[in-house]
A and B are shown apart, each in its own frame.
Chain A
């Protein structure tokens, strides 16, 4: 699938294949004994866990030691402290998902200034430049994800109706791109639809923002939420309000997959590929450590997931079987009573 967005500085996307590691690259990396640290926004979501296992697995294949994995709990101060502490450890590279823009920019700039290779995931802090302050950005095609969401919602929305857009208040490259792309697609392809945008400042406020959006606009007939965890909160609010309207979101978390299979409000999901993204980020890191030129932006295409393809898409995205509830709802297993949740089924949540 083609990448439809441009990078944070207008870069054209490079495919993950561009940084494929050959057996001789891995052998060279093993001989060098590199040390790498990973700084993520959270370790609580499935998306983060899958991305992390992709990174760690690929680094392991290349004999690269992961010396630390930091959970920043979405807090800029924690990330700044972690980066400064890791700079003192002098690893060969740091992979980081910046939790904010301007607030964490200086701390990320200090990584490159200390001679440590910095690979960014999903977001670029304000003012940082590829080649100078960081090696590469590895992210999903977030613009493409917003476009997929709009294309999937459109058939469910009647002519001349209102559609709600629940965006993220923080200035974050990934969610900005999704919102812009969704709105752009609707304006071009569904000029009859009136869009009502509301943004939540934090996950805890997603339900409140949904309620206020629907209280102000009673006639909303479709909803786009920029990622799946807040979309579950939105679904809860709509259920309380007794409203059943078609919804689309981004990220195929476990709860979202179950909601999709249940054929309730959630009609489609634009899914990222976190495991593959993690592997790609590790390949970029190793390529850079071996002195190869790396692309400024490596982007992975999104997948359009509906109830029809949720099982195989879940397997593609998470590298594990779809939740049993999903298989039961789609009559792929007998409706026997549920056993205890297996260990591979964990709480849902993207981004």
Chain B
């Protein structure tokens, strides 16, 4: 069946009587595509075995998927006695995903293929406190620049990582409106703006969620099914990768461990307040002022500012006061994470954030607290490592979020016959709604300026 015919079949209204070929073919197409995409099956024989479909059906569906450009059979595998089998591969370059990470002080953008491989990325300083409209404009400009540099490839989705929990509004398929994520963002239609500008479905997740996905699929968590990801910065948050997928909880607010009350020397407070980067910086300044840290005192004397990074660097070159500050922070984080580990039994705990990544002391101290407080069964094979992906984890993870969304069987079956997710009826409806709303806004008669 030719591609226009497939598209027509997918978009024409449902009739009574026998089901259309497109309706009967969709489930097997979805099944075969995902068997190949996940790497479970790489030859026709393996597809037949895992899908339990007949040879003729597999051949027919493969023909369709190759015609749609989603699979290819151009490579030959190793022969095992007879003729070399033709390998069936997912065409990861069939489309691209635009990705972005927004955090308190930086904006990262990139583009990934449908396998989640990042093809290009750029990061720049950007204050989250600026108006959301300016941020959206910068994001759009950088996205357009990347698309132009990549030769304007077909876009399958846009996925953005945000510095706050993204409420799970129970959206079954695609986002049609912008959920309230951050203060000051209530009235800005970020999702609608991106859908209009790029005509692609949009996903939003918290930075901890996307980084968890990034580590699970391309970082330290590759090959593990259950990981716990902990990001240490001004805020402290955790993400859970369970059975290879992101665990989002009831409302998308998983892992807000920064608000857990803890007690340390000199009182108690939330984990963020007692062990976050603001506390590390504050303790560093205080150590410099009372003469306990010669390195930090010298830094201030030369006009330098003390942030958590300076404390971490001082600790790294042996400053005793800085070492104690980071050890204390690591201990408190480790105690809270140990409780989570006892509950969840992860195979791996990844510590991330600039302090955890550049400093061995915080990691060592957290590790000691985790192993010390975990049940022997939990700690027996547990690894505690630092992230090696940095902000790229957020971009890669954001791409995986969109890819998992686009290719989830429930969504895939409604666009597969057209070969691109934009053909999904619900996305069409969302796009039309946004266009209608925009038209209504533009046609509203405004009162004359005073």
Contact = CB atoms under 8 A, between A and B. Distances in A.
A101 B120 CA distance: 9
A8 B309 CA distance: 19
Nearest to B150: A171
A130 B122 CA distance: 16
A238 B29 CA distance: 58
Q: Chain A: interface secondary structure? A: loop
Contacts of B219: 129
A171 B119 CA distance: 10
A346 interface: no
Given A129-B389, A171-B149, A295-B358, A5 B124 contact: yes
A171 B392 contact: no
B388 interface: yes
A244 interface: no
A183 B124 CA distance: 13
B222 to A, nearest CB: 11
Number of chain A interface residues as a range: 20 to 34
A332 interface: no
Given A129-B392, A130-B390, A171-B149, A7 B118 contact: no
Q: Could you say which of A4, A177, A180 has the most chain B C-beta atoms within 10 Å of its C-beta?
A: A180
Contact of A126 (B118, B309, B316, B359): B118
Contacts of B357: 131, 296
Given A10-B123, A187-B141, A132 B388 contact: yes
Interface string B389-409: 111100000000000000000
Given A10-B101, A10-B106, A12-B354, A177 B122 contact: yes
Interface in B135-149: 141-142, 145, 149
B102 to A, nearest CB: 11
Interface in B178-232: 219
B73 to A, nearest CB: 23
Contacts of A130: 388, 390
Nearest to B394: A10
A245 interface: no
Nearest to A8: B121
A190 B119 CA distance: 31
B99 to A, nearest CB: 12
B422 to A, nearest CB: 26
Given A10-B106, A130-B390, A293-B316, A4 B125 contact: yes
B120 A293 contact: no
A127 interface: yes
Contacts of A9: 121, 123, 389-392
The 7 closest A-B pairs by CB, nearest first: A10-B391, A10-B123, A6-B123, A9-B390, A131-B388, A132-B388, A9-B392
A296 B387 CA distance: 12
B123 A7 contact: yes
B368 interface: no
11 contacts: A4-B125, A5-B125, A9-B391, A9-B392, A10-B123, A12-B309, A129-B389, A180-B124, A180-B142, A180-B145, A296-B358
Contacts of B319: none
Interface string B229-265: 0000000000000000000000000000000000000
A7 B391 CA distance: 10
Contacts of A12: 309, 354
B117 interface: yes
Q: Chain B: interface secondary structure? A: mixed
Interface of A: 4-12, 18, 101-102, 126-127, 129-132, 143, 171, 176-177, 180, 183-184, 187, 293, 295-296
B384 to A, nearest CB: 15
A294 B326 CA distance: 18
A131 B352 CA distance: 13
Q: Could you say which of B106, B122, B141, B360 has the most chain A C-beta atoms within 10 Å of its C-beta?
A: B122
Contacts of A11: 390-391
Contacts of B142: 180
A5 B108 CA distance: 12
A10 B316 contact: no
Q: Could you say which of A8, A101, A183 has the most chain B C-beta atoms within 10 Å of its C-beta?
A: A8
Contacts of A102: 119
A18 B310 CA distance: 11
Contact of A6 (B124, B149, B313, B388): B124
A332 to B, nearest CB: 35
A20 B300 CA distance: 19
A177 B120 CA distance: 12
Nearest to A292: B316
A127 B121 contact: no
A197 B371 CA distance: 56
A210 to B, nearest CB: 19
Nearest to B141: A187
A239 to B, nearest CB: 30
Interface in B108-132: 108, 117-125
B392 A143 contact: no
Given A131-B388, A180-B124, A180-B142, 8 more contacts: A8-B121, A9-B390, A9-B392, A10-B108, A11-B391, A126-B118, A129-B392, A187-B141
Contacts of A18: 313
Contacts of A295: 358
Contacts of A131: 357, 386, 388
A12 to B, nearest CB: 7
Interface string B78-120: 0000000000000000000000010000101000000001111
A12 B310 CA distance: 12
Q: Could you say which of B106, B360, B390 has the most chain A C-beta atoms within 10 Å of its C-beta?
A: B390
A12 B145 CA distance: 23
A143 B390 contact: no
A127 B118 contact: yes
